[in-house]
Structure 1
Amino acid sequence: MTTPSAPLTPEQQPAAPEGQPAAPAKKGSSILKKVGGVLVAIAIALAVKFGLPHLTGEAPVHAKAGECVTVTGPDNDPKVDTTDCSSGKPDLFKVVKVVDNTFDLNQCGPELSALAQQLNSDKFVLCLEEVAAK
């Protein structure tokens, strides 16, 4: 029966081959790197959630009554942009009224088209009238 040898002291450790680290990193610095990485990930997520849609123009438009908008994209994710009422663009609508603090499309009545939107914590319905193409 053999007894296991005693662990080597730092002086007895063999030298690391060239190109490899000599010793593992200290625990304190690896924890700081992990915390730093998590903070960076959170900062990126917040920037994407709150900043990116506004920078790329993908944020919902809170148009006012009397303005014209174009509505494009699929019904479940429409894109709304304000535009000149005389532009003659396809899918051009005039905002007849805006109903704040609701997603109730029935607020516009049967004669108008309705589009529910949310901008940050504001929710509203745009009541729209199609502008005839010229």
Structure 2
Amino acid sequence: MTTPPAPFPSEQQPAPAKKGSAILKKIGGVVVAIAIAIGVKLGLPHLTGEAPVHAEAGECVTVTGPDNDPKVDTVDCSSGKADLFKVVKVIDDTFDVNKCGEELSALAQQLDSDKFVLCLEEVAAK
């Protein structure tokens, strides 16, 4: 009695995929895509420093960029940088820049669901 020869690799058929594992892969892919989208929406601005700064009264900030999309960064008050402002007060839960009065500059910001106005006083360059 002779043993039949082993089949060539091209003759081998892959095992049929199970329907349950294909569905799990699709669901897993959707979950990963949603997680990435949420991470980008909530986390990316904070990681790249593009999120608005919620400075406290007494801190100094620089304001750069266009008026319709200013970039605010906290800095050391003695840095002597251009566009340096000291935060005189912070008014929460509003975008009303008139609440700072006429003697102060005002900048409305939003950080996540918090909205606030930074009342700013220009720091003289040294």
Match of 2:88 in 1: 96
Separation in 1, partners of 2:24, 2:66: 45
Question: When the two structures are superposed, what TM-score results if normalisation uses the length of structure 2?
Answer: 0.82
Aligned to 1:49: 41
Aligned partner of 2:57 in structure 1 is 65
User: What is the CA–CA distance in structure 2 between the aligned matches of 1:24 and 1:111, rounded to whole Å?
Assistant: 76
The structure with the largest alpha-carbon Rg is 1
Residue-by-residue CA offset, 1:86-118 (whole Å, 9 max, x unaligned): 111111111111111101111111221111111
In the other structure, the counterpart of 1:107 is 99
Q: Which amino acid aligns with 2:61?
A: V
- Residue segments in structure 2 that go unaligned for 5+ positions in a row: 1-8
Identity of aligned pairs, percent? 85
Normalising by structure 1, report the TM-score: 0.77
How far apart, CA to CA, are the structure 1 residues paired with 2:60 and 2:13?
65
The runs of at least 4 consecutive aligned structure 1 residues that moved more than 4 Å come to 20-24
- Residue 31 of structure 1 pairs with residue 23 of structure 2: yes
- Aligned to 1:41, the other structure's residue is in SS state helix
Q: Cα 1:21–1:111, aligned 2, differ >3 Å: closer, same or farther?
A: farther
